[in-house]
Chains A and B, each alone.
Chain A
């Protein structure tokens, strides 16, 4: 019976996947500890003394000693590192010098704004980039292909902060089509704080869950410009990669087979080739998603966007190292997480993955 065969096959594939997932998690854990080693190293060579920056200039020797012990600075280096890793794995990234709050709590507050922005940007980049890359690949050398190539290279060459300023100048300053910097107008900001239950921290999601259509619209008018600009950068990358993958697939013999079967060209490209392109595209989209987290650093300063990038740059300007490094660790961890996720998805989508 076919069914029994199938049932035999399915669990074995799942267990195999689970085993690989275990291996992946292990390597990623090592990478994460390596990442911590780098930030630890950076934090210990900082010229500013953490004790002084906490207590200020006029601390007594006793206070200094007490704080040193409390911070564990009197112990040997390797032990300090052990504690550092242990704490980080438990979500303790230290205390912000500027606000005296735990860094992890602050990041938890700032992160949803970045997540919201880069998710919408990735969706925009994907929705435009994938079809553009595919169409370009089907007519290599055509005018459309040249345009996609040039527009893509322009995206690669654009300083993201300048692009943001130009976007503000034109679409906000001159045309008035979009909301200005910030996530909401001031009036709506108050409403958001007092009238909306923050389930996720992402305004677009929370307002919908609360049924506040008016705030949703205002938030949309604010997010659309930065998301579109970041989406353009993501589109540049995704369209280029899609084109090159597609070119590769269209040269394969199974494409000829589909044509021999009399399948229309549309089906050959959008079903046969696309199914194969999807596999490497998963990695590309994941990568572009992590690039956007980074692009957000500069974009957020331009758009006064209270996200992780803004948090890090603000902390930088006042040399709040625990906050800077905590932010770095979180972004690094998200990188690693996205990597792992795309790796697993890849194995699920590609039947050949061993």
Chain B
């Protein structure tokens, strides 16, 4: 069953020096599975993720031959229809909780905001749901965290709050945009396993955006490799190490390996034709 279908997506930014295309014709389908999108910075992976939610602000604009989510045409949907999708149906976890949580609102208020505003849930019930969500991301003293401001939380805690907040309305699709890149290495695994467990239990679709090939391979079913706004290769995660495209191989080769030789890591030899 297809949850999300994207055909020939383009994201263009109109700048002073002329239009710049960040995404140039990306197509893919997604069921209730885990799709990884990998690429260097500037490859258009983040813009692809945000296009699904139609969150590209001017001067950027989105074009696509087709973009449908569970039967809704995302390109034709009104802003009100989009708002009804954002939150309850599609959600997104961003890179750094330091910036993605509102610094002057208490965590509790941010968690309960959706319940109050959208679902008109009463105070006590919203509080209980928020605490339950914090429990689900394995935060031990949720009552205290509810009363804290984001800057009082560690990065790992913050990201767990972010995940809890996005999962409260039980969305069908979660876009995770580099959810662990800003965290300490020791916390990364913990946050990932929490995310993994929740997505698995609830049977959501997941788009996992990362620059880390191995992480994506371990975590996802399928991987799109992006380069300069295009998908250069699509492979099943278990076949990633046998990827054919020279760019994918190049990315794999730049990673150090435990027990490998200690010589300088090879750089990427780019060819103009990859970007066509």
Q: Do chains A and B touch in the complex (CB under 8 A)?
A: yes
B-contacting residues of A (Cβ < 8 Å)? 1-2, 5-6, 252-254, 256-265, 267, 272, 275-276, 278-279, 349-352
Q: Answer whether residue B147 sits at the interface, using C-beta atoms and an 8 A cutoff.
A: yes
In the assembled complex, how far is the CB of residue B147 from the closest CB belonging to chain A, in whole angstroms? 6
Chain A residues near B87: list those with CB within 8 A.
260-263
Could you tell me which residues of chain B, from 83 to 136, have a CB within 8 Å of some CB in chain A? 83-88, 91-92, 94-96, 99-105, 113-114, 117-118
Q: Quick check: B55 and A2 within 8 Å, CB to CB?
A: no
Q: Quick check: B55 and A262 within 8 Å, CB to CB?
A: no
Whether A263 touches B117, Cβ cut-off 8 Å, given contacts A253-B94, A352-B151, is: yes
Closest 3 CB pairs of A and B: A262-B87, A2-B143, A262-B86
Q: Answer whether residue B165 sits at the interface, using C-beta atoms and an 8 A cutoff.
A: yes
Q: Answer whether residue B257 sits at the interface, using C-beta atoms and an 8 A cutoff.
A: no
In the assembled complex, how far is the CB of residue B191 from the closest CB belonging to chain A, in whole angstroms? 17
Q: How many A-B residue pairs have CB under 8 A?
A: 90
Chain A residues near B83: list those with CB within 8 A.
262-264
Q: How far is the CA of A1 from the CA of B99 in the complex (A)?
A: 29
Chain B residues near A261: list those with CB within 8 A.
86-87, 91, 113-114, 165-166
Partner of B144 from A2, A252, A278 at Cβ < 8 Å: A2
Q: Quick check: B104 and A279 within 8 Å, CB to CB?
A: yes
Residue of A nearest to B114 (CB): A261
Chain A residues near B147: list those with CB within 8 A.
2, 5-6
Q: Quick check: A253 and B113 within 8 Å, CB to CB?
A: no
Residue of B nearest to A276 (CB): B104
Q: Quick check: B144 and A5 within 8 Å, CB to CB?
A: yes
Q: How far is the CA of A265 from the CA of B92 in the complex (A)?
A: 17
Interface centre among A252, A259, A263 (most CB of B within 10 A): A259
Q: How far is the CA of A176 from the CA of B113 in the complex (A)?
A: 51
Chain B residues near A267: list those with CB within 8 A.
117
Can you list 25 A-B contacts with CB-CB less than 8 angstroms, sorted by A residue number?
Answer: A2-B141, A2-B146, A2-B147, A5-B141, A6-B144, A6-B147, A253-B96, A253-B100, A254-B102, A256-B55, A256-B100, A257-B100, A257-B101, A257-B165, A258-B102, A258-B113, A259-B86, A260-B53, A260-B86, A261-B91, A261-B166, A262-B88, A265-B79, A267-B117, A276-B102
Interface SS, A side: helix
Partner of A350 from B55, B96, B104 at Cβ < 8 Å: B104
Q: Answer whether residue B219 sits at the interface, using C-beta atoms and an 8 A cutoff.
A: no
What 1/0 mask marks residues of chain B from 31 to 57 whose CB sits below 8 Å from any chain A CB? 000000000000000000010010100
Interface centre among A257, A272, A278, A352 (most CB of B within 10 A): A257
Q: Answer whether residue B13 sits at the interface, using C-beta atoms and an 8 A cutoff.
A: no
Chain A residues near B118: list those with CB within 8 A.
262
Residue of A nearest to B85 (CB): A262
Residue of A nearest to B84 (CB): A262
Q: How far is the CA of A261 from the CA of B84 in the complex (A)?
A: 9
Could you tell me which residues of chain B, from 129 to 161, have a CB within 8 Å of some CB in chain A? 141, 143-144, 146-147, 149, 151
Residue of B nearest to A253 (CB): B99
Partner of A272 from B92, B105, B114 at Cβ < 8 Å: B105
Q: How far is the CA of A349 from the CA of B165 in the complex (A)?
A: 24
Chain A residues near B104: list those with CB within 8 A.
275-276, 278-279, 349-352
Q: How far is the CA of A272 from the CA of B105 in the complex (A)?
A: 8
Chain A residues near B92: list those with CB within 8 A.
256, 260
Chain B residues near A258: list those with CB within 8 A.
102, 113
Q: How far is the CA of A258 from the CA of B111 in the complex (A)?
A: 11
Q: How far is the CA of A110 from the CA of B143 in the complex (A)?
A: 54
In the assembled complex, how far is the CB of residue A120 from the closest CB belonging to chain B, in whole angstroms? 29
In the assembled complex, how far is the CB of residue B105 from the closest CB belonging to chain A, in whole angstroms? 6
Q: How far is the CA of A260 from the CA of B114 in the complex (A)?
A: 10
Q: Quick check: A257 and B102 within 8 Å, CB to CB?
A: yes
In the assembled complex, how far is the CB of residue B84 from the closest CB belonging to chain A, in whole angstroms? 7
Residue of A nearest to B142 (CB): A2
Partner of A351 from B55, B96, B151, B162 at Cβ < 8 Å: B151
In the assembled complex, how far is the CB of residue A267 from the closest CB belonging to chain B, in whole angstroms? 7
Chain B residues near A262: list those with CB within 8 A.
83-88, 114, 118
